Amino acid sequence: MRLDVILRVSAKLMIPFIMLFAIYVQFHGHYSPGGGFQAGVIAAAAVILYAIVFGMREAQRVVPPGVVEAMVPLGVVIYAGTGVLNMISGGHYLDYDFLLADPVQGQYWGVFVVEVGVLVTVAGAMVTIFYAFAMRGRS
Amino acid sequence: MDLLESYPLLQTIAERYNTWAVILLMVSGLYIVVAKSNMIKTLIGMALFQTSVYLLYLSPGKIIGATPPITDTAFAVYSNPLPHVLILTAIVVGVATLAMGLALIVRINEAYGSIEEDEVVDLVDRQDKAEE
Amino acid sequence: MDSTTLIWLTLAIPTLGAVGIWLADRFPNLREAVTLVTAVLLWGTVCHLLARVLRGERPGTEPIEIFGGIELALAIEPLGMLFATVASTLWIVNSIYSIGYMRGNNEPRQTPFYVCFAVALMSAMGVAFSENLFTLFLFYEILTLSTYPLVAHKGNEDARRNAGIYLVLLLVTSMGFLLPAIIWTAVASGTTSFADGGILASAGLSAGAATALMALYVFGIGKAAIMPVHFWLPAAMVAPTPVSALLHAVAVVKAGVFAVVKVVVYIFGLDYLQETGASQWAVYLAGFTVIAASLIALTHDNLKKRLAFSTVSQLSYVIMAAMVATPAAIIGATLHIAAHAVSKITLFFAAGSIYTAGHLTMISQLDGIGRRMPFTMGAFAIGALAMIGVPPTVTFLSKWFMLQGNVTADQWYALGVIALSTVLNTLYFLPIVYRAFWRAPPEPSAEHPAHGEGPLPSVIALSITGAGAIALFLYPDIVYRLAEAVAAAAGGTP
Amino acid sequence: MSTPADPQPALMLADQLPALLVVVPMLGAMVASLLRNGALGYLVSLIVSWVSPVIALAMLWQVEASGPISYAMGGWAPPLGIEYRVDEANAFLLVLISIMAALCITFAPRSIASEIPAQSRGWYYAMFLMCLCGLQGMAITGDAFNIFVFMEISSLAMYALIAMGTDRRALVAAYQYLVIGTIGATFYVLGAGLLFTITGTLNLVDMADRLQPLLGTRAALAGLAFISVGIGLKLALFPLHLWLPNAYAFAPSVATAFLASTATKVAVYILVRFVYSVYGVEVAEAHEIDTAIVLLLAVLAMVAPSIVAIFQANVKRMLAYSSVAQIGYIILGVFLLNEAGLTGGLSHLFNHAIIKGCLFLAVGCIVFSTGITKIDQMAGLGHTMPLTMGAFVLAGLGLIGVPGTAGFVSKWYLIQGATEAGLWWLVAAIVFASVLAVFYVGRVVEVAWFREPSPEAAAPRPVPVEMLAVTWILAALCIYFGFETDISAGVPAEAARILIGGGADG
């Protein structure tokens, strides 16, 4: 056990709130500045903080590299998939009017899903970049 | 303010302070790219150069006293959102480029044992010569 | 069969022949049979067309548009007919000769050799029957490319270097000068088709521009070997003798002078040339080439080199006659294309036969060889007399018309050149004949053992062409009628 | 922009083609990187890269039949939203890119397997598709900023592709390309930013309209200058080409073939778009000196790299220098500012893509069979690998511009353009550069066919049938487009007529 108790305890306190803030920024992106990109970066920051404080091995046990690497393309698939769904229902690419029967609902849910895609990709990309650099030369 | 009013040229210069910031950043960034041999520093210069362009886009979009462009009866003046969206994209591109560049530098360091461009290029030339 | 099909056949037969030769790679006898059959079929097709052209027809194919008004089209006019007839006839003779030569010398890579030969003949046909400048250029370049491997055939350092010179010089001149000339012509006159009386008269070029254009053509058609773009021809002599014989005495070089004459007759037209005088400088340059090449020939002891420079000189006869731009001179030029082809191929056949039989390449080694190789040297003597222009050889006729053309146009310079070069020709050919027949042969040594005649196919071939050089003097009717038709198409006043 | 009040008619598949052309490769890339497996990644890219040409050809057909296609991204009508706009010029380019991608991918699997370690192959295919997505996006979009985004997507993918080369010099090449490429892209976005500031729009058609009264302003001209330099870096215009030779020389064979035949071509297209559509040809005509400088650079680009190419020991680097020279031809055609010249430039863009693609793929076959990269080692290859070298020779003839090959057609137009412009020294330069090509192509041919096989070349392992087939398809196309020029010269001629005549409405 190393002598960084303060760091560990405060990190344990902060990380849930950072995650929560990420989710807030994500969902509130409809009404105020924010959205998937910012939320993704914040969420990634939480993981990176965890890795810095508790070590790479611990962090990779919680958030395995395979998962984050898969998140990068997965988010884009969610994003682009929504666009393709619109096209299938007869709209332009990413024209959410056609996503659901009611265009207003379509816009709402369309943007929501797309932003989730952005969150997944950005968080995944940020953590992947961190892992890639931090693990270089160790394995 | 009196000083500015009595010298119109000075006023013209001062009014465009954002442009001066852009120019300063741009030129220093470009200089670093050209002059520095250390690859990390080159990338920093490159990032600086890109940042100056972000400012070039963003600063004219800000209107003092305006709000985000969300329609509401209480406000009439909105900032132009387009530059923000564009530059958000550009920042992402910049991050990706930086990550790519750094990754390459790590690999170059592993392959050549140096991140000084002069030394690396020297080794490359030597390998070229050895082949001929 | 209609004429269009026949014209396409002249391209298709050698192409298919090339494929057939390639497929028969493992069976030399079959391969040679394919070569001969192809040559005979081609000759037959060309003769068919010849009969029709002599009846006054001008058959052609439908043009195929390539891009922006540029068409691939074939059409037969008398000059092309003459060239095609000469090339296809001599191909048969040359194929017989090649068999003897290639087997006699155990040459490697014989299949690619025959394949390239067939492709070269195909492109010679294409050049002959081209309806416009683009088609001419297309086949002209294929001819260059297909003969490059033939020149590099031996594969040693010397052959590679000389083949490099050959390829680069011909490609450089054609791309550097001929292509811009063609595009200039197309832009100026709106067409690239050959037409009786020329197409440039109405293009509105100034006399200076016409002169420059003529210069682009004369230097661009490097195969015509006017100085200073002649040195590919001596370089090409590293090739096996059948190549030198058919290609560098007939197909390639004649494609060059043929193209020059064709440009003079069907692009510029004699009227236009007489009016602008755009070709007068070329008369001087060609005259200089005739004399200079003859003088250089005198200094060469290597038999093939001497023949090569003699070819350079004789080609410039044709160019000079064409540039004089009178109908009689055009007849002379046209006749000389055929006359020189038959005579020079005989000389090359003889040189190759000497090489196969005794491995001799130098003139100084030929003492008394006429006694060992009477047929070969007899044919050589006929060829030599033809180079000089002594009757009863066919070149007498062509020189006659050239002289006539020069006199009517008051071209005393050209007249003088022909007279002087006749003297020079005598000086560099007759000593060989004298040496061969009247000097005593050296004692056989280990280096040069006693030998007899060359291989039978070679002797047959050179006897045929030697006889041909005399026969054409006695029966020039067909060739003359074609030449007359060319002159009629050229326009111009005597 | 749509509201509930104005319901739009539902779109058919045929209307969705412009979006699909970009979305399909992008999704393909994501699927490939999710799978992370060489074989599956290959399967995905094979499907995607053969769907793209179908889409592109369908669009070319639509454009020929009924004029330009406009596609509003997200239903936001131009000029507010991002518009995908397809006309003769870029439909033609899209066909080229997608076909080259399809052929390269078909060629790829065994070449990749021999050059790239197993764990990276899935990523390789993902990057390839991302690059394809970026290039097609650049070509199809009608939005100045979107061009930048796609430019960077394709460039980032390219850096990764180049860095995957087997030699460690590939890393340095990728790094140098990254720095220069980023500077280029940033210059471009700077220029676009200036235009955006003065016109208030990013839509190219709209920008062209609004720019008309502002053409004389310094900001407009500075914008053009920044864009030209930025694109000049991307397309390796002499003397901004220094990144290119090493990048092409050390990238994996298939990547080199694909990049050489498409990447610089798209950059040329962007330049043409700005010079002819956004600014209009009059601007270039008015600034004679600047145009003359570009022409001079183009001539230097044709001549100097050709001379350098003659002395290269590495065959891939030789071809890379030749690429720089051929870009000179294209730029020359573009800046002759007449129809014949522009036709020649665009047509050479197409023909050179095919020729260089064939040459690099032939080299790919040679590397696969023998590992040879140096010209000296290629001695005797003509006899031990006759089919591969045969294709190399045919494409080499096209590079020289021998009549009956694709290269001849475009050079004819270029010379015609120079003749019509009365610039005789340009005719001489074009001809001289072609002559230089004789030397560097001839050198390989001579070594390969007329020398005794070197030890490396003596016993090559057989070339897989798909590699030979693709190489020969391209070699056959080099000849085919020398005779049948409806696509390779007809469409460019039409595009040139529109670009010169009608501004952005093309």
CA distance C139 to A109: 68
Closest-CA distance of chain B to residue A61, Å: 24
Residue, of C28 and D244, whose pLDDT is higher = D244
Residue, of C100 and D199, whose pLDDT is higher = D199
**Could you tell me which chains touch chain C, where touching means 3 or more CB pairs under 8 A?**
D
Residues 6+ positions from A18 with CB-CB distance below 8 Å: A42, A43, A45, A46, A49
Look at residue D5 and tell me whether its pLDDT is greater than 60: no
Look at residue A49 and tell me whether its pLDDT is greater than 50: yes
CB contact under 8 A, D2 and A74: no
Of A33, A37, A136, the CB nearest to B106: A136
Look at residue D502 and tell me whether its pLDDT is greater than 60: no
Q: What is the pLDDT of residues C400-458, one digit of tens each?
A: 888 888 888 888 888 888 889 899 988 888 888 888 888 887 777 766 677 777 788 88
Mean pLDDT within D131-143: 93
Q: Which of A41, A44, A16, A15 is nearest to A29 (CA)?
A: A41
**Please, how many CA atoms are within 13 Å of residue D175, restricted to the half-sphere of its CB?**
27
Amino acid, single-letter form, for residue C240 = P
| pTM for the whole structure | 0.89
Position D362 scores a pLDDT of 94
- B80-84 contacts: CB < 8 A, separation 24 or more? B82/D202, B83/B57, B83/B58, B84/B58
Q: Which of D143, D223, D193, D224 is nearest to B57 (CA)?
A: D193
Selected residue of D73, D123, D147, D182 to mutate for chain B interface (largest B Cβ count, 10 A): D182
Q: What is the pLDDT of residues C192-249, one digit of tens each?
A: 888 888 888 877 788 888 888 889 998 988 888 888 888 888 888 888 888 888 777 7
Lowest mean pLDDT segment, chosen from D185-189, D237-241, D366-370 = D237-241
Q: What is the pLDDT of residues D444-465, one digit of tens each?
A: 988 888 888 878 777 888 899 9
CB contact under 8 A, B92 and A37: yes
Selected residue of B104, B125, B127, B129 to mutate for chain D interface (largest D Cβ count, 10 A): B104
Position D504 scores a pLDDT of 41
Position D470 scores a pLDDT of 94
CB contact under 8 A, D404 and C138: yes
Q: What is the pLDDT of residues D228-264, one digit of tens each?
A: 999 999 988 888 888 899 999 999 999 999 999 999 9
CB contact under 8 A, B46 and D171: no
Mean pLDDT within B83-101: 89
Q: Which of C487, C492, C485 is nearest to C76 (CA)?
A: C485
Residues 6+ positions from C455 with CB-CB distance below 8 Å: C100, C101, C103, C104, C353, C356, C357
For tokens 């509401």, what's the residue? B72
Position A139 scores a pLDDT of 57
Mean pLDDT within C298-310: 88
Position D491 scores a pLDDT of 87
Amino acid, single-letter form, for residue A28 = H
For tokens 């005598």, what's the residue? C426
CB contact under 8 A, C168 and D442: yes
- Does residue D24 belong to the interface with chain A, where contact is any CB pair within 8 Å? no
Closest-CA distance of chain B to residue D344, Å: 35
Q: Which chain D residues are Cβ-neighbours of A99 within 8 angstroms? A: none
Look at residue D2 and tell me whether its pLDDT is greater than 50: no
Closest-CA distance of chain B to residue A50, Å: 21
Position D3 scores a pLDDT of 45
- The total of other beta-carbon atoms located within 10 Å of residue D189's CB is 30
Q: Which chain B residues are Cβ-neighbours of A136 within 8 angstroms? A: 106
Mean pLDDT within A62-88: 90
Lowest mean pLDDT segment, chosen from B15-19, C306-310, D331-335 = B15-19
Position C494 scores a pLDDT of 64
Helix, strand, or coil (residue A15): helix
Look at residue C330 and tell me whether its pLDDT is greater than 60: yes
Selected residue of B124, B126, B128, B132 to mutate for chain D interface (largest D Cβ count, 10 A): B124
Percent of chain D at pLDDT exceeding 70: 97
Mean pLDDT within C139-157: 86
Look at residue A134 and tell me whether its pLDDT is greater than 70: yes
CA distance C307 to C253: 13
Look at residue A4 and tell me whether its pLDDT is greater than 60: yes
Chain C residue with minimal CA distance to D439?
A: C168
Q: What is the pLDDT of residues D151-175, one digit of tens each?
A: 999 999 999 999 998 888 999 999 9
Q: Which chain D residues are Cβ-neighbours of B71 within 8 angstroms? A: none
Of D152, D189, D193, the CB nearest to B97: D152
Residue, of D253 and A108, whose pLDDT is higher = D253
Residue pair C313/C297 in contact by the 8 Å Cβ criterion: yes
CB contact under 8 A, B46 and D197: no
The dihedral of CA D55, D60, D63, D68: what is its sign? positive
Position D505 scores a pLDDT of 43
Position C360 scores a pLDDT of 81
Average pLDDT of the residues of chain B: 85
- Does residue B100 belong to the interface with chain A, where contact is any CB pair within 8 Å? no
Residues 6+ positions from C49 with CB-CB distance below 8 Å: C3, C6, C7, C10, C59, C76, C81, C84
Mean pLDDT within C81-106: 85
Closest-CA distance of chain B to residue A99, Å: 23
Percent of chain D at pLDDT exceeding 90: 52
Using 50, 70 and 90 to split pLDDT, how confident is the model at D197? confident
Q: Which of C247, C408, C215 is nearest to C319 (CA)?
A: C215
Task: Region of C269 please: left (phi>0), alpha (psi -120 to 50) or beta.
Answer: left
Q: Which chain B residues are Cβ-neighbours of D183 within 8 angstroms? A: 30, 33, 46, 49
CB contact under 8 A, A97 and D26: no
Q: What is the pLDDT of residues B39-80, one digit of tens each?
A: 999 999 999 999 999 988 888 766 666 666 666 777 777 777
**Could you tell me which chains touch chain D, where touching means 3 or more CB pairs under 8 A?**
A, B, C
**Could you tell me which chains touch chain B, where touching means 3 or more CB pairs under 8 A?**
A, D
Position A45 scores a pLDDT of 94
Residues of D contacting chain B (CB within 8 angstroms):
145, 148-149, 152, 156, 159-160, 163, 168-169, 171-172, 174-175, 178-179, 182-183, 186, 189-190, 193, 196-197, 202, 246, 313-314, 374
Using 50, 70 and 90 to split pLDDT, how confident is the model at A27? confident
Selected residue of B85, B92, B100, B115 to mutate for chain A interface (largest A Cβ count, 10 A): B92
Position D372 scores a pLDDT of 86
Token pair in block for residue B95: 């991050």
Q: Which chain D residues are Cβ-neighbours of C72 within 8 angstroms? A: 483
Q: What is the CA radius of gyration of chain C?
A: 21
C–D contact: 3+ Cβ pairs < 8 A: yes
Residue pair D238/D324 in contact by the 8 Å Cβ criterion: yes
Closest-CA distance of chain C to residue D493, Å: 9
Residue, of D125 and C2, whose pLDDT is higher = D125
Q: Which chain D residues are Cβ-neighbours of A92 within 8 angstroms? A: 11, 16, 19, 71-75
Residues of A contacting chain B (CB within 8 angstroms):
31-33, 37, 129, 132-133, 136-137
C295 burial level (CB within 10 Å; 0-12, 13-18, 19+):
middle
Selected residue of D148, D179, D377 to mutate for chain B interface (largest B Cβ count, 10 A): D179
C37 burial level (CB within 10 Å; 0-12, 13-18, 19+):
middle
Mean pLDDT within D275-285: 88
Residues 6+ positions from D239 with CB-CB distance below 8 Å: D297, D300
Q: How far apart are the first and last CA of chain D?
A: 24
